[in-house]
Amino acid sequence: MIDRKEFFTKLYETITDAIKQCDEGNVIDLRLFKNGNCLGDGVFSIFEGEELYNAVKDCKEWFVDFYENIKGENRAEFIDIVLHSNEFSRVKLFAPMFDNYDQLSLLANKAEDNRRKYVAEIVEKIQKECQTDHIKFTDKTTYPIYYDNTTNETESIVGAKAVDGVLFLTTDTTFNPMSWFDWTHYGEMDLDEFVYIVKQTLA
């Protein structure tokens, strides 16, 4: 459905333009054509905006030709002004829904950021309480899976540690200091799976 306010704004702007082109005393009529019907779907005066709106509001494709009725000559001339359906955006009709989606996306992104930070807090707390500088995963605990966007491959995580609220991972079984990386920079990981496996290290 076409937005009512937008329709009448454009309609009256177009009528004003048409009046400026017409000679004084000549009457303008609006000739509607819908869905490719070359025979026309009605003739409206400039005062029948409501009727015209009702005729086009649910129509996908239409246009209105503006004609100037020549006084005393029983004829009308097309004044090269057209109001077309493609001038109206259907996005406005759904704007509240898109706005709601944007708000939900912001909330979801914020929640995801908070979740990642909290996972780092869990790891940091375990390091402190267990007096270790990292968590080690084994065959017994199983290994979190990390998807590396740079190689398009999955890798098994063998260790995790948190430093100043940032979670670092390693796939190096020697735990080389240079092997640790901030996982958010290079790929993706299922945090639910990761936290579950972290729990197993405490069993």
Residues 6+ apart with CB under 8 A from 104: none
**Under a CB-based contact definition with an 8 Å cutoff, are residues 5 and 95 in contact?**
no
**pTM score of the predicted model:** 0.58
Q: Is 122 exposed, middle or buried (0-12, 13-18, 19+ CB in 10 A)?
A: middle
Over residues 117-169, the pLDDT tens digits come to: 999 999 999 999 999 999 999 999 999 999 999 999 999 999 999 999 999 99
Burial 158-195 (b: 16+ CB within 10 A, else e): bbbbbeeeebbbbeeeeeeeeebbebeeebebeeeebe
What confidence category does residue 93 fall into, taking pLDDT thresholds of 50, 70 and 90? low
Beta strands in the chain (DSSP E): 27-34, 43-45, 62-70, 75-84, 135-136, 145-148, 153-156, 159-163, 166-170, 181-182, 187-189
Strand order in the sheet with 187-189: 153-156, 145-148, 187-189
Q: What is the DSSP letter of 144?
A: -
The model's pLDDT over 20-67, given as tens digits with 9 standing for 90+, comes to 999 988 999 999 999 878 788 899 999 999 999 999 888 888 999 999
| Domain range summary for the chain, segments of one domain joined by + | 4-90, 117-200
* C-beta separation of 88 from 10 below 8 A: yes
Render pLDDT for 158-200 as a digit per residue (tens, 0 to 9).
999 999 999 999 999 999 999 999 999 999 999 999 999 999 9
b/e sequence 26-39, b meaning 16+ C-beta within 10 Å:
bebbbbbbbeeeee
